[in-house]
Homo-oligomer: A and B are copies of this chain.
């Protein structure tokens, strides 16, 4: 085969595919999967919390009955397994936004929900409003649709709706959505106040855009009173969920188990109908046997599993905060999350998280995610994300101590 032929085999990807670069961080962290390294990197659940025997019972029951086995192993409707949609709608209702099954579409984890919403809302050159920092996976999902990003200014900001709109115009598109993780955010662990939520809803009303509320960690509150979800606040203002512009992304991944890949979107029926078409075109339906098994678990023991997860992660957060307090130099600051899986640390100006990582791994045998990865705008070089979900309390204490030794 000639060189010319070999070159012609490499296909010409879509323009948008050029943006889908491997996150160097993820590549680096993959290499780090070594037992001697204490990892504060991935925000993944502690597998000791997984209800394996309950799932074994659920799959056995589903497959033992000919009727439910035939349903479990067959194609299914794109909107999701009816009884699971009902259960999710009830659970959403308990949060304050009166939902029916028709307000729910089941997704392959909330990551698929983010992809679908990008597909539905973003054309090339449009603007997505996100935090800086924000969840890396949301940036990856949206970037496939070639938006530009603008930064949600938050409570202390003074950006006007008009300034967002003008900059979007100048870039040749429109502001099409805002995305936030309001509770125990990935990556900062911070929670939006009620005032900040209302301010965001007002901005969204003025810009006439949907607000994507990523509620992945919302159930994992260790202390303090919950702030109403953006969706509940907006549905209350507008009179109904169907009139709300908030799109709520939920998941069982952080409270029951991520391996079944079951999440959901709760939104107006009009939007759900569009999302069902996207699902039909994108993967037909989420595995129905997994939807049945998840419903079984959710009905039988969701409350208990959430309590167990809260107890486990609260103790780990306490271990991390205590170790940070004990060992970190004064020049390092960090957040004190009331829930979720993450602490966000700010290193002294000029100290790069990305440059620290290889040293941390080789010298201190500790891993984390450099904060720059979570910033669409290239900022945040002196920040790092520390997840306490996977290591034990002892490992957390030890890992923070070792990391601190590099920073002194």
Contact = CB atoms under 8 A, between A and B. Distances in A.
A245 B210 CA distance: 41
B260 A289 contact: yes
Contact of A75 (B15, B44, B115): B44
B12 A111 contact: no
A289 B70 CA distance: 19
Interface in A112-136: 112, 115, 119-124, 126
A284 B16 contact: no
Q: Identify whether the interface residues of A are mostly helix, strand, loop, or mixed.
A: helix
A354 interface: no
A238 B2 CA distance: 10
Contact of A16 (B123, B140, B244): B123
A238 B7 CA distance: 12
A399 interface: no
Interface of A: 1, 5-6, 8-17, 20-22, 26, 42, 44-45, 47, 50, 52-53, 55-56, 59-60, 63-64, 66, 69-76, 108-109, 111-112, 115, 119-124, 126, 137, 140-141, 143-145, 174, 176, 205, 208-210, 238-239, 243-245, 253, 257-261, 268, 270-271, 273-274, 277-278, 280-290
B259 A121 contact: no
How many identical subunits does the complex contain? 2
B260 A287 contact: yes
A16 B73 contact: no
A119 B261 contact: no
Contact of A14 (B17, B126, B208): B126
Contacts of A283: 108-109, 111-112, 115, 261, 283
26 contacts: A1-B239, A10-B270, A13-B121, A14-B123, A16-B119, A17-B278, A20-B278, A22-B277, A26-B280, A47-B70, A47-B74, A52-B70, A60-B60, A71-B259, A73-B260, A112-B282, A115-B281, A119-B144, A124-B124, A137-B284, A260-B289, A261-B284, A261-B285, A261-B287, A287-B290, A289-B290
A243 B5 CA distance: 9
Contact of A176 (B12, B20, B278): B12
A388 to B, nearest CB: 17
Given A13-B120, A243-B9, A287-B261, A52 B69 contact: yes
A59 B8 CA distance: 45
Given A245-B9, A281-B144, A63 B53 contact: yes
Contacts of A290: 287, 289-290
A74 B238 contact: no
Contacts of A119: 14, 16-17, 144
Given A14-B123, A208-B12, A289-B290, A140 B280 contact: yes
Contacts of A245: 9, 11
A63 to B, nearest CB: 4
Contacts of A282: 111-112, 115, 141, 144
A259 B5 CA distance: 41
Contacts of A50: 69-70, 73-74
B55 A281 contact: no
A243 B108 contact: no
Contact of A45 (B17, B74, B260, B280): B74
Given A60-B59, A243-B6, A281-B140, A259 B14 contact: no
Contacts of A20: 274, 277-278, 281
